[in-house]
Amino acid sequence: MTTTSINSFNPEYFEKTWNDYSTEDYDVVIIGGGSVGAGAALDAATRGLKTAVLESQDFAAGTSSRSSKMFHGGLRYLAMFDFRLVAESLKERELNMSTLAPHLVKPLKFIFPLTHRGWERVMMFGGFTLYDLMGGAKSVPMQKHLTRKGVLKVTPGLKEDAVVGGVRYYDTLVDDARHTMTVLRTAAEYGANVRTGTEVIGFEKDGRGRITAAKVRDLETGREATVKGKVFINATGVWNDKIQEMAGAEGKFTVHASKGVHIVVPKDALDADAALCFVTEKSVLFVIPWGEYWIIGTTDTDWEKGLSLPDPAPTKADIDYILDEVNQRVRDKITRDDIVGVYSGLRPLLSGKSDSTTNLSRNHAVARVAPGMVSVAGGKYTTYRVIGKDAVDLAAKELGTKVAESVTERTPILGADGYHALANQVPALARRYNLSEDRIEHLLGRYGSLIGEVLAPAADDATLLEPVPGAESYIWAEVRYAVTHEGALHIDDIVSRRLRVAIEFADRGVAAAQPIAEFVAPLLGWDQADIEREVSHFTKHTEAELAAEAALTDREANDILERAGSARATKEEA
């Protein structure tokens, strides 16, 4: 049985939410629409708290759309003896895979190649055994040790002399941007007021110095409003310190940013039937299947303070590092000509004494930084729900009333209910909607039981079932749904986050930009000037990203992107 949503993110919803911001007195106001803000919003709303979410750009526009696309147990944290984090991560991985988001979080088979005989196999057997035992209830098989022949049978694209054996284990794959957006949609289903393009520009305090309101600006129109709340949660990740400073808060911690870069290459660039995990001198290198592509990464380098946060551009050095590391291990070299996509993000890490950003803790911290404000930072995507819960737990102490316990551990997000049954009905669904079985599986993996809501308009307009020119992996019904239900307001929102065209096509979505702009214009109230501005902004920004990938330093790449401006063309800029 397919499901439908109550609240749809679209221009009408966002306009109503803007009006609500000025009239409501919220229990909790969450600043930040990334994974942690989403987790906190769903937690607060399902506890019965009147909740608002303020996101300055788009859902998951920062770190939360630029991850390695995994809910993973944190295997490498076993080497750091961080057993609590591993156990917590494995529990969350299992919850999301089985109950909370099975349509978005899928089992993923990995091969961990071994390069030394004897001691390494013994050590990894112990590590993976702990990994299996700490996982609790299992939706994936346990580890299996393989000979060199066994590894090469699964991954024939590896060099024979690069492995002596290996371990097969499982983690999970997730579309991070879609997951974050869907968690926020679920929060709205439970009453949260959620809005993008809403920048916090200041705070108001009462006579005792308690924060009582946030002053916000609508980046689409330039208008301003005041949002009142009993407690504010700063869930802005790498922007944490900026918000604390704006609030005059005394931070109990500061956030340090580390840049992680990934490249995307076609599936035929590497002959393998599983994801791969390699340990390098500086980081961990993943090779992750992503539809018809491989995502390869990541890097782990310090991000210089003072550089722009929204768009941390990958540099030539970042790309060369990834290519060098992977080519040490694969039979057929992967070159820059193979690359169809590159993306980078900033990890919000809690500042520590170590000079190496790799060693800074991925554990999260929650603190009351000022009367009426709680800050939350650090952590990893996998534990977003726990981080959000912890933030709301502390924020609840500011309310002075009894607050219900968290229920998100047993609250599936939109699209999860009924997904398993629908996944067993792919042939029947293909006949019902006149689509191929591959297309139905693609849609189920993005929308779950909301598939009927996505495809409903096609009953009256069969052209919605046709592929999008320049982005043929997707159909027009998905573009329409991105605008009518998922809050996409700009070409970049659609191409980069609702769809993943920007990392799946060599032109980064430029060819699809014009037809998409013309298609969504009636839905978003655009005239011809709006269409031209949107396409121009997106194209200019994409060209700048490509130029930045040839830059030698972060500062040089950052300057190129800053000159190009945002990919989101707001009417205020017109």
- Both tokens of residue 547? 């130029």
**Domain tally for the chain?**
3
Is residue 14 predicted with pLDDT exceeding 90?
A: yes
Whether the per-residue pLDDT at 90 is higher than 90: the answer is: no
Q: Are 230 and 26 contacting, i.e. CB atoms less than 8 angstroms apart?
A: yes
**223 and 264 both lie in a single domain:** no
Mean pLDDT value across residues 328-346? 97
- Does 519 share its domain with 479? yes
Residue range of the domain that includes 199: 11-63+177-253+361-410
* pLDDT at residue number 42: 99
Q: Note the pLDDT tens digit of each residue in 382-440.
A: 999 999 999 999 999 999 899 999 999 999 999 999 999 999 999 999 999 999 999 99
CB contact at 8 A, 3 and 414: yes
Instruction: Give the span between the Cα atoms of 217 and 74, in whole angstroms.
Output: 39
pLDDT: is 254 or 324 the higher one?
Answer: 324
Domain boundary among 358, 377, 395: 358
91 falls within a domain: yes
Same domain, 271 and 326: yes
pLDDT band at 2 (very low <50, low <70, confident <90, very high): confident
Output 141 or 206, whichever has higher pLDDT: 206
167 shares its domain with 94? yes
* Tokens of residue 467, six digits: 């592929």
What does the DSSP 8-state code read for residue 493? I
Residues 6+ apart with CB under 8 A from 37: 30, 31, 53, 55, 184, 233, 235, 236, 388
Please report, for the domain that includes residue 44, its CATH number: 3.50.50.60
Residue 269 lies in a domain: yes
Does a structural domain hold residue 71? no
Whether residues 512 and 439 share a domain: the answer is yes
Cα separations in angstroms, 149 against 122, 145, 165, 166, 332: 19, 11, 8, 10, 18
User: If you write DSSP's letter for every residue of 65-110 in order, what string do you get?
Assistant: GSS-SEE---GGGGTTT-HHHHHHHHHHHHHIIIII-TTTEEEEEE
Whether residue 129 is predicted with pLDDT greater than 80 in this model: the reply is no
Cross-strand pairs, 483: none
Q: What is the pLDDT of residue 119?
A: 61
- Are residue 102 and residue 248 in the same domain, yes or no? no
Answer whether residue 1 is part of any domain: no
pLDDT at 284 > cutoff 60: yes
Shared domain check, 479 and 447: yes
- Whether 84 and 108 map to the same domain: the answer is yes
Query: Residue 4: its pLDDT value, please?
Result: 85
Q: What angle is formed at CA 247 by the lines to CA 345 and CA 366, rounded to 5 degrees? A: 60
What is the signed CA dihedral for 540, 543, 544, 547, rounded to 10 degrees? -160
